[in-house]
């Protein structure tokens, strides 16, 4: 069976859940081979093997850290040229998409972005037009390059002891033109990551700037916290938590929107959630039209009551 | 300094967007088109740089005849000139081909110092064309930029991607911007009048030296097999809070096994 390259998404070797999802999807279509770029392989090895990587390509060089994505794309292209894989799966993160874009040009291959499913024959499923359509597509030229959104598969363990191959890295001058002079550390909130969470509780302009009721309900449910652009633009919540067209796309089991009217740009980021709940004091708010359950009321009383009730039930 | 702002003409998200039944391409004829909202931020960023120094702004689009409207809008906002790549052979081009055509157009414009683009087009929404252009033109690309400074032959940008980064690159470079970067202006009456006199070039593939056989639907490296309209979400139960809204909410959640 041909290899399916999976680009590992990790923070200093801490493998993010998307990677185990991609390994699970890759197993349908071939032999998953993980590509680990940067430092921290010692911390990652066990997870990659547990989720079925039959091989791990490891490449580390300072350029991978010091410059934006172009060096990573170059290394991935080198590995792909050597491994001749049946496909390359890349996480649909901002970095992942840029790497995939450059790789498509380098390998002269078709690219599909934001897949939510990849079949054994490498047919993909995506959403189009803000979740209004479902599209099935295929790459017809070169090595299929597919970026896959978080939460697209349930990671299934398949214990292996992968062979490890160290890849020597040579990075061209062309790839070292965008220098990273400062990088913020990933903020640990103690809550699940927005795009990975099974439940998301989001607040909008209706919070009036006080997210404490949203956060308390999120914590009672073990959920991630999201925000509308109005709330982010007002400086009430960090941009990294914005849900929507220009923020994150989430597709959780349960999405709770509190004080969010439901503009199309917001819907674009949450429309494919399994169950949608809305709390808004305006019965005419468009969000109710897509809600499986809605409460017309003030979120500052409804959310705390719900939180208290959940805490009571948990005993 | 010469700045190219990439402007894509897209079906209005507020309209009922759909696909052509015959070939599964985006319907660009029966749905009202607009300048992709996210490209307005790129145009605004270009104009801000031009206003604070000495720069000319060229708005560039690739698309059918109607795509000229995207260029016109940029000219009304204040861009100096426009370029429109139009050719029947382009129908159905994928991102890889689009990037090849735009790269050829940028080379034809010549002596470009900075290319500004939106973070994603609001129809395809792939966020890949700028990085592909960078790959083809051998330039730096800084994506998802929420804050941008251009001085002394280089750019310094805040990139809001997986984490926040500060990035530096020498010009020429490609920068794609987010909706955090500025507040795009509305064209003024004066701007609308002035736009009528601004020069717009129209180029065919032959003008760019691009082989028509390498673009369009037949040459695309991806194919859409099926397109299915997702059933409209239907409204469930909506209750009005009468002091028990939170409790009712939890009852629903418990019924769905979330609690
Ligand atoms: C190019 C572009 C990109 C965009 N990208 C995004 C994006 O990624 N994500 C996004 O969210 N938006 C995005 N937007 C903005 C979007 O159009 C809306 O402006 C935004 O989503 C509105 O946020 P909101 O629902 O919180 O605010 P509003 O629309 O003002 O709604 C607030 C709601 O809160 C209710 N409310 C007020 N007080 C209370 C209370 N005490 N209790 C209960 N309810 C209350 C109100 O009745 C109202 O329904 C984008 C816009 C543009 C032009
Ligand atoms: N046909 C086009 N004409 C002009 N600019 C485009 C075109 N396609 C993409 N772009 C630019 O590239 C950005 C990203 O597009 P995409 O990769 O399609 O999401 C857009 O915001 C535009 O600035």
Going by alpha carbons, the residue nearest to atom 23 of ligand 2 is: B117
Reported as type and span, the H/E element at residue A106 is helix A94-107
Strand partners, A3: A31
Can you list the domains of chain B with their CATH numbers? 2-219 (3.40.50.620)
> Which residue from A2, A35, A47 is spatially nearest to A165, judged by alpha carbons?
A35
Segments of chain B scoring below 50 in pLDDT = none
Q: How far are the Cα atoms of A268, B72, B144 from residue B14, in angstroms, in the given order?
A: 12, 20, 24
C-alpha A95/C-alpha A178 separation (Å) is 13
> φ and ψ at A146, to 5 degrees?
-130, 125
Question: Domain coordinates of chain A in residue numbers?
Answer: 3-176, 199-314
pLDDT given at position A129: 86
Q: Domain spanning A199-314: which CATH class is it, in words? A: alpha beta
CB contact under 8 A, B144 and A94: yes
What is the maximum alpha-carbon separation in chain A? 61
Residue pairs spanning A and B at CB distance below 8 A: 261
Predicted ipTM?
A: 0.95
Residue B171 contacts A where some CB pair is shorter than 8 Å: no
pLDDT given at position B103: 98
Residue B125 contacts A where some CB pair is shorter than 8 Å: yes
Going by alpha carbons, the residue nearest to atom 29 of ligand 1 is: A261
> φ and ψ at B84, to 5 degrees?
-130, 115
Residue A287 contacts B where some CB pair is shorter than 8 Å: no
Regarding the beta carbon of B83 and ligand 2, being less than 6 Å apart is answered no
C-alpha B128/C-alpha A35 separation (Å) is 21
* Axis-axis angle for helices A70-83, A94-107 (nearest 10): 50
Residue B42 contacts A where some CB pair is shorter than 8 Å: no
Mean pLDDT to the nearest integer, A59-75? 97
C-alpha B246/C-alpha A122 separation (Å) is 45
Q: How far are the Cα atoms of A95, A204, A214, A308 from residue A240, in angstroms, in the given order?
A: 14, 14, 16, 28
pLDDT given at position A217: 98
pLDDT given at position B88: 96
Distance of CA B210 to the CA centre of its chain: 22
Residue A121 contacts B where some CB pair is shorter than 8 Å: no
Coil, strand or helix at A34: strand
Strand pairing of A124-128 and A117-118?
Answer: antiparallel
User: Which B residues 141-160 touch A at CB under 8 Å?
Assistant: 141-144, 146, 156, 159-160
Read off the pLDDT of residues A109-146 as tens digits, 9 standing for 90 and up: 999 999 999 999 999 999 988 888 999 999 999 999 99
Read off the pLDDT of residues A262-293 as tens digits, 9 standing for 90 and up: 999 999 999 989 999 999 999 999 999 999 99
| Angle B15-A94-A62 from CA coordinates, rounded to 5° | 165
Are the beta carbons of A31 and A4 closer than 8 angstroms? yes
Please tell me the number of the ligand nearest to residue B127's CA: 2
Single pTM value for the model: 0.95
Rounded to the nearest integer, the mean pLDDT of chain A is: 96
Compare CB distances from B236 to A94, A127, A291 and report the shortest one's residue: A291
Shortest Cα–Cα distance, B11 to chain A (Å)? 10
Given a cut of 90, whether residue A158 has pLDDT beyond it is yes
Determine what percent of chain A is predicted with pLDDT higher than 70: 100
Residue A52: left (phi > 0), alpha (psi -120 to 50), or beta?
Answer: left
Chain B residues touching residue A292 (CB < 8 angstroms): 236-237
Residue A294 pLDDT class (50, 70, 90 cuts): very high
Read off the pLDDT of residues A197-224 as tens digits, 9 standing for 90 and up: 999 999 999 999 999 999 999 999 999 9
Same topology, domains A3-176 and A199-314? Answer is: yes
C-alpha B71/C-alpha B7 separation (Å) is 7
Architecture of domain A3-176: 3-Layer(aba) Sandwich (3.40)
Coil, strand or helix at B142: strand
Q: How far are the Cα atoms of A147, A184, B75 from residue B102, in angstroms, in the given order?
A: 23, 33, 19
Strand partners, A136: A125, B226
Q: Which residues contact B228 (CB under 8 A, 6 or more apart)?
A: A133, A134, A135
Residue B138: left (phi > 0), alpha (psi -120 to 50), or beta?
Answer: left
């Amino acid at each position: 069976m041909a290899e399916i390259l999976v680009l590992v998404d990790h923070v200093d070797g801490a493998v993010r859940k998307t990677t185990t999802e991609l390994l699970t999807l890759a197993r349908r279509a071939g032999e998953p081979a993980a590509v680990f770029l940067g430092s921290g392989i010692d911390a990652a090895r066990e997870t990659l093997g547990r989720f079925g990587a039959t091989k791990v390509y490891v490449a580390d060089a300072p350029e991978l850290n010091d410059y934006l994505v172009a060096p990573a794309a170059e290394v991935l292209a080198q590995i792909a040229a050597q491994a001749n894989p049946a496909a390359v799966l890349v996480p649909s993160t901002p970095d992942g998409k840029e790497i995939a874009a450059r790789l498509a040009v380098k390998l002269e291959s078709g690219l599909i972005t934001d897949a939510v499913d990849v079949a054994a024959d490498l047919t993909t499923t995506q959403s189009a037009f803000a979740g209004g359509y479902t599209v099935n597509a295929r790459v017809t030229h070169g090595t299929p390059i597919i970026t896959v959104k978080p939460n697209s598969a349930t990671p299934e363990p398949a214990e292996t002891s992968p062979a490890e191959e160290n890849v020597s890295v040579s990075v061209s001058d062309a790839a070292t033109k965008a220098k990273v002079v400062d990088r913020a550390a990933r903020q640990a909130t103690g809550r699940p990551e927005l795009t990975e969470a099974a439940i998301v509780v989001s607040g909008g302009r209706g919070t009036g700037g006080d997210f404490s009721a949203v956060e308390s309900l999120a914590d009672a449910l073990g959920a991630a916290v999201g925000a509308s652009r109005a709330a982010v633009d007002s400086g009430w919540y960090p941009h990294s938590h914005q849900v929507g067209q220009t923020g994150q796309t989430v597709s959780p089991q349960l999405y709770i929107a509190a004080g969010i009217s439901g503009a199309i740009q917001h819907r674009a980021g949450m429309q494919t959630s399994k169950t949608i709940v809305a709390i808004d004091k305006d019965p005419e708010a468009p969000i109710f039209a897509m809600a499986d359950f809605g409460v017309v009321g003030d979120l500052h009383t409804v959310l705390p009551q719900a939180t208290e009730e959940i805490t009571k039930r948990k005993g | 300094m010469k700045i190219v702002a990439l402007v894509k003409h897209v079906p209005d998200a507020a309209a009922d967007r759909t696909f052509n039944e015959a070939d599964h391409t985006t319907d660009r004829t029966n749905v009202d088109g607009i300048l992709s909202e996210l490209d307005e931020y790129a145009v605004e960023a270009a104009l801000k740089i031009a206003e604070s120094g000495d720069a000319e702004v060229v708005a560039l689009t690739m698309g059918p005849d109607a795509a000229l409207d995207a260029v016109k809008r940029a000219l009304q906002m204040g861009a100096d000139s426009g370029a429109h790549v139009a050719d029947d052979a382009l129908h159905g081009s994928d991102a890889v081909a689009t990037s090849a055509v735009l790269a050829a157009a940028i080379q034809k414009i010549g002596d470009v110092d900075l290319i500004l683009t939106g973070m994603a087009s609001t129809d395809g929404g792939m966020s890949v064309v700028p990085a592909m252009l960078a790959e083809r033109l051998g330039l730096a690309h800084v994506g998802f930029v929420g804050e941008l400074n251009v001085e002394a032959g280089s750019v310094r940008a805040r990139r809001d991607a997986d984490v926040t980064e500060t990035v530096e690159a020498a010009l020429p470079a490609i920068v794609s911007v987010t909706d955090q970067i500025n507040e795009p202006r509305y064209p003024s009456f004066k701007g609308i009048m002035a736009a009528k006199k601004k020069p717009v070039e129209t180029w065919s593939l032959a003008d760019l030296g691009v082989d028509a056989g390498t673009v369009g639907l037949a040459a695309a490296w991806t194919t859409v097999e099926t397109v299915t309209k997702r059933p409209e979400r239907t409204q469930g139960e909506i209750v009005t809070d009468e002091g028990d809204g939170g409790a009712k909410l939890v009852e629903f959640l418990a019924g769905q096994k979330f609690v």
